[in-house]
Amino acid sequence: MKASMRMICAMCLVAIIGITSVVIVEGAGGPCGKSSPDNEAMKLAPCASAAQDEKATVPDSCCAQVKIIGQNPSCLCAVMLSDTAKSSGIDPKVALTIPKRCNFAHRPVGYKCGPYTLP
């Protein structure tokens, strides 16, 4: 009886550890944490014209969103290179100039985004 009780307790412990590991891995997510780059790209709708034309004015609402997402350079890159960004006509090399055009003092200068580099 004691042996079977120990076995049940051991199996419960293994199950709890397994569930905890899955939750931790799923919570970490990809480059943007729990959110997908495509979902984060939707937040950058105010940046659409600025991401297509390097001479276009960057709206304050765009700069605010880029500042939030840009705290994680790998997420910013994933967003700028996402399918959502591409399908909306975003030019990645122009889009990656937005942090500089927003005059962010602390931006990921020289960070590689696929074939592009943040200026």
pLDDT digits (tens, 9 = 90+) for 2-45: 444 343 433 333 333 333 333 334 445 799 999 999 999 999 99
Residue 66 burial (10 A CB sphere; 0-12, 13-18, 19+): buried
Q: What is the CATH number of domain 31-117?
A: 1.10.110.10
Closest CA to 58 of 12, 13, 23, 107: 107
Which residue matches tokens 């500042």?
Answer: 67
Average pLDDT for the chain: 78
Can you give the pLDDT at residue 66? 93
